[in-house]
Amino acid sequence: MPIPATWSARLLSVMRIVVALVFFSHGVSKLFGLPPFPYPMTPLLYVAGVLEVVGGGLLIVGLFTRPVAFVLSGMSAIAYFLDHAPQGPFPIANDGEAAVLYCFVFLYLAAAGGGAWSVDAGRGQR
């Protein structure tokens, strides 16, 4: 039995929250070492960590969803091409699956918005 279309806006919110929580955890790992980040921190990784914590936090609550998701989509694309693509063209082989998925999920959120359960929806922004 298919899920009713009337649930779409709420399920969009659930997807936004879950993806943002996992993305947020990447930044917490980089900036606060919880759990410890396994690579040496570079200035670019500090920038990524700040974007992950701030952007992830904003997406968790659904505030400024479209512009934040657009920026994070670009950040994820840059992460893929700078870190993963040089190791080979296939995401499964270069450990770039997460970066690709974040890129396109955030691109979708930039177009679709935050869903029914977001601060943006409460403020009347579509």
Would you state the pLDDT for residue 126?
Answer: 61
Is the sign of the CA dihedral 16, 101, 71, 45 positive or negative? Answer: positive
Question: Long-range contacts of range 28-31, CB-CB < 8 Å, 24 or more positions apart?
Answer: 28/52, 28/53
Q: Check pLDDT > 90 for residue 100.
A: yes
Question: Could you report the per-residue pLDDT of 2-11, keeping only the tens digit for each?
Answer: 899 999 999 9
Residue 94's CB: how many other CB atoms inside 10 A?
16
Smallest CA-to-CA distance from 30 within 75, 92, 81 is with 75
C-alpha angle 6-13-24 in degrees, rounded to nearest 5: 165
Question: Could you report the per-residue pLDDT of 65-74, keeping only the tens digit for each?
Answer: 999 999 999 9
CA 126 and chain centroid, separation: 20
Q: Check pLDDT > 90 for residue 124.
A: no
Residue 55 and residue 72 in contact, taking contact as beta carbons nearer than 8 Å:
yes
CA distance 34 to 30: 8
Token readout for 92 is 């499964």
CA distance 115 to 126: 8
Question: Could you report the per-residue pLDDT of 59-95, keeping only the tens digit for each?
Answer: 999 999 999 999 999 999 999 999 999 999 999 999 9
